[in-house]
A and B are shown apart, each in its own frame.
Chain A
C-alpha cells in the first residue's frame, strides 16, 4: 500500500478533518454553485413588479410556465418508459456491441445543445425525413419540442439506470427467480423497487433538464408554442427583466416543491409489488416478447434519438469521400484554425470541470446520502442541489454574467470553469448520492469495526460498490460541459467548440463544413467516453 494512502487513511480518522471537508464542500456549494445561477433573480427582484402589474403579461407567463411543466413531466415519464428497457438491455445483454451502443446513448448529450435543436429541425421538418415525404413531416411546434426534450433527456435516464443496474446485486433477482417468479415479475417486484432511488434521481434530472433548456428549444418551437424559458428569452431580448425574475422564480419554487414532495413521498411510494399476474407476466417474459421489447428499445433509440441528433453531422461523410473540406480541416487552414483551438479548449474545460466537480461533489453526495448533518438539512441540501438545473438557461446565463463580471481580475478561464461547474455539479451529486443511499450501511459499519479508517471504508467499500454510478455521474458532467452553449456565450469571450458551431450556423457556413465540424466533436467525445467505459468495465471483478 503506497504511503500516501496510509497517510490519508490515518488523517480520515480525525473527526475534525472530516467535518472540515464536509463543511467546505457545503460552503463551496453555496458560493460557487448555488448563488451565481440565481443571483440575477435575487438582484433584479424588484422588477417582478412589471409582470405582477400587467394581467396580460401575467397570464402569458402563467401559460408559458404551464407549458414548461407539462412538457417536462410528460417527457420524463416517457423517458423512464423508454430508457429503462434500454438500460436493461445494455446492462444485462451479452453482446459485445452493447458496449458501443452504451456509448451511443450519450450522443445527444455530446452534441452541443443548440446544434442538437438545429439537427432535429433539419431531420424532422426540413431536409431529412421531409425530403423523403416531399413535405415537412413535423413542423416546428409543441410536438417537435417534445421530441427534442425526449432526445436530450433520454440519455440522463438511461445513463443513471445503466449505472444502477450494473451496481445492483443480482442475488435478489436470482432468489426471486428460484421462488417461481418469471423474469418480468422478478424485475417488477424486486429489482426495480430496490432501484427506486435511482429511478427517482433520473426522473428528477430529466425533469430539470427539460424545464430549463432554452437554446435548442428556441430552434424548434416555432411561433405558436411558448414555454417558460422562451418567454424569458423573448422579453430579455427586449431588455425587460421582469419576466426573467418572475418565471425563473416560479419555476424554481414549483420544481423545488415537486422535488421536496418526491423526496418525502419517494420512500413511502410503494411500487405495486403485491399484485402479480403470473401467467400474463410469464408470457410477457417469453423470449419472443423479450426480443421484440429489445428490438423496440433499439428502434426507438435509433429512430428517435440517435439519427435525429446526428443528422447535422451527416454531411461530414460527403466531406470525407470527396472535395477538399477534409484536407483543409486536417491541415487547419481557414476557419479550421479556430476550430481546433476551440476543440482543445472544450475538452480541457470538460476535463477540469469533471475533476473539480467529482472532488467537491463527493463529500456532498455522502453528506446527503448518509444524512451527515441530520435529516432535515440533508433534505434541504438535496433539494438545493437541483436548483442550478431548474433555472432556465437564459436566466442562468444572465445571472452568471452578472456575477462573474465583478471578477474581471480573474483569468478568462476562471468564469468559464465556474459557470460550467455550476451547471454540471448536480449531475454528479445526484447520481452518486442515489448510489450511496443504496449501499447497506451495515457494510460500512462492518468495515469500520474491522479496523478500516473512514477513507479506507470509502476506498474498499463505497467506491467499488458505486464505481459505475460514479462513472455515470462523471460522464454526464463531462458531456454536459462539452456541449454547453448558452451560458458559455454570456460569461466569457473564449470560444468553445459549441459556441463556434452556433456561430457557424448563424453565419451560414456550407453544410459540409458544419457537418464535419460537428462530426469531429462528436467523434472525439465518443472515443473518450468509449475508452473510459472500457477501462471501467474491463476491471469488472467482484
Chain B
C-alpha cells in the first residue's frame, strides 16, 4: 500500500537549498536507497517524508494520500535516526511498545506486538536494560524494532548503520533488508556508502547538492551512469580527458593528450560536437593490461607507477602515455605481478567506455564529495 511520491519538492534553509526540486517515486514494498555525499540533502529529504519538516514547495504523497499537512504521528512511518534516539528514561521494553501505547492499542495487543518484534531482532533477554547499557548494534536493532512495533508500513532509515563497526554493519544490512521484505514493508534507506546501497537496494537514487541525479537499479547505475558524477560515485571509474575528433552515428573518436586517439560507441544522450572537450569513463575491470608493447584500436601505452598488495588483489596505478592515471586491480594468485616501472599496454573495448562532456566546473570539482 505505501508507495511514496515526491513531486517537485524543494526545501531551503536561508540561502542553502537543501532539497532542490526533487521528484521521485518509491514503489510499494521496494527497498530504496538514497545515496549521496555528506550534506547533499538526504536527511532533509527523509525528514520531509516523515513530516518532521515541511516542504517550501511541492507535494508529498504516501500511498496516494497528499500528506503535506499531515503531522508525523499520522503518517504511519517508522523513522530510525542515525543516533537511534532511544528514549534514555525508558527501558528496552517501554521503548519498544511506545508506539502501540501512544496509539492507544489495548495492552494485550501491545504486548503481543512487543514480543513479536523483539523476537524478530533477537533481543528478548534484554527487556529491562536501559539504552545506555546496550551496544551500538543492539541499540540499532531496538530502534528498528521500535519503529516496526508502531505498525509502520514505511520505514525511513537515516544512515541506520553509520555508527556501527564494519563487521556488524555488514551483518545487519542484510538482516534489515530481509526483515522488511518478510514483512512486506517499503523502506527508504539513506546512506553515503555506495557499497551498502548496491548490496541491499532494489533501486537507488543518487543525490548531489539537493538534486536527484539518477534513479535506477544497482545494475543500471553501474552499467549506464547518466552523469560523470554517478560513474564516479557508484563503483569505481578511471577518467581519460580529451576532445571529440570525429563523430558519426555509430562511433565517436576522441583525441587524448599527446595526439592519442581512441574510439567509443556513440550511445550518449548528450549533444556532442566535434572539437568539444569530453571525458571518457572506464570501469577498471573493462581494462585489459598486456606486457608487450602493442599498437591497435583503443590501446594506450603506460608505465606501472605504483603497486599495492591488498590480499585477494593487487592494485596497480598506471600512468598512461596521455598523462592520465588509471587504477585497477588484478587477482593476486593468478598471473604474474607487474613491477614498478614496467611498460605495459592498456586497452579497452569501445562499447564499454562512457563518454561525457567535460564538466564546466572542472573534473575535480565535479567529482568532489564535500
Contact = CB atoms under 8 A, between A and B. Distances in A.
B103 interface: yes
A177 B89 contact: no
Contacts of A180: 73, 76, 99, 102-103, 150-151
A196 B98 CA distance: 19
B99 to A, nearest CB: 4
Contacts of B89: 193-194, 196, 273
Contacts of B152: 178
B362 interface: no
Contacts of A279: 104
A191 to B, nearest CB: 10
Interface residues of B, number: 32
Mostly, the A contact residues are helix
Interface in A128-183: 171-172, 174-183
Interface string B140-161: 0000001100111000100000
A190 interface: yes
A182 B73 contact: yes
A442 B139 CA distance: 15
A181 B90 contact: no
B287 to A, nearest CB: 40
Contacts of B77: 178
A332 interface: no
B52 A174 contact: yes
Contact of A194 (B71, B88, B98): B88
B281 interface: no
Contacts of B225: none
A274 interface: yes
A107 to B, nearest CB: 32
A172 B76 CA distance: 17
B81 interface: yes
Interface in B140-187: 146-147, 150-152, 156
Contacts of A222: none
A278 interface: yes
B102 A171 contact: no
Nearest to B89: A193
A278 B103 contact: yes
B159 to A, nearest CB: 13
Among A176, A178, A182, A442, the most chain B Cβ lie within 10 Å of the Cβ of A178
Contact of A185 (B85, B102, B132, B146): B102
B150 A179 contact: yes
A276 interface: yes
A277 B87 CA distance: 19
Nearest to A278: B104
Contacts of B83: 171
Contacts of B76: 180
A189 interface: yes
B98 A171 contact: no
Contact of B52 (A172, A177, A181): A177
Contact of A178 (B52, B90, B132): B52
Interface string A188-230: 0110011010000000000000000000000000000000000
B72 A177 contact: yes
B79 interface: yes
Given A174-B79, A194-B88, A274-B94, A179 B104 contact: no
Given A178-B50, A181-B73, A172 B85 contact: yes
Nearest to A189: B102
Given A171-B81, A193-B89, A178 B72 contact: yes
B142 to A, nearest CB: 12
Interface string B60-87: 0000000000011101111101010101
Contact of B85 (A174, A183, A278, A442): A174
A182 B73 CA distance: 6
Nearest to B100: A180
B277 interface: no
Nearest to B71: A177
Contacts of B81: 171, 174-175
Nearest to A173: B85
B18 to A, nearest CB: 14
B101 interface: yes
Nearest to B105: A278
Contact of A273 (B73, B78, B94, B103): B94
Given A182-B73, A273-B90, A175 B85 contact: yes
A533 to B, nearest CB: 20
Interface in A250-284: 273-274, 276-279
Contacts of A176: 87, 98, 102
Given A176-B87, A196-B89, 7 more contacts: A171-B85, A174-B52, A183-B71, A189-B98, A193-B89, A278-B103, A440-B88
Interface of B: 50-52, 71-73, 75-79, 81, 83, 85, 87-90, 94, 98-99, 101-104, 132, 146-147, 150-152, 156
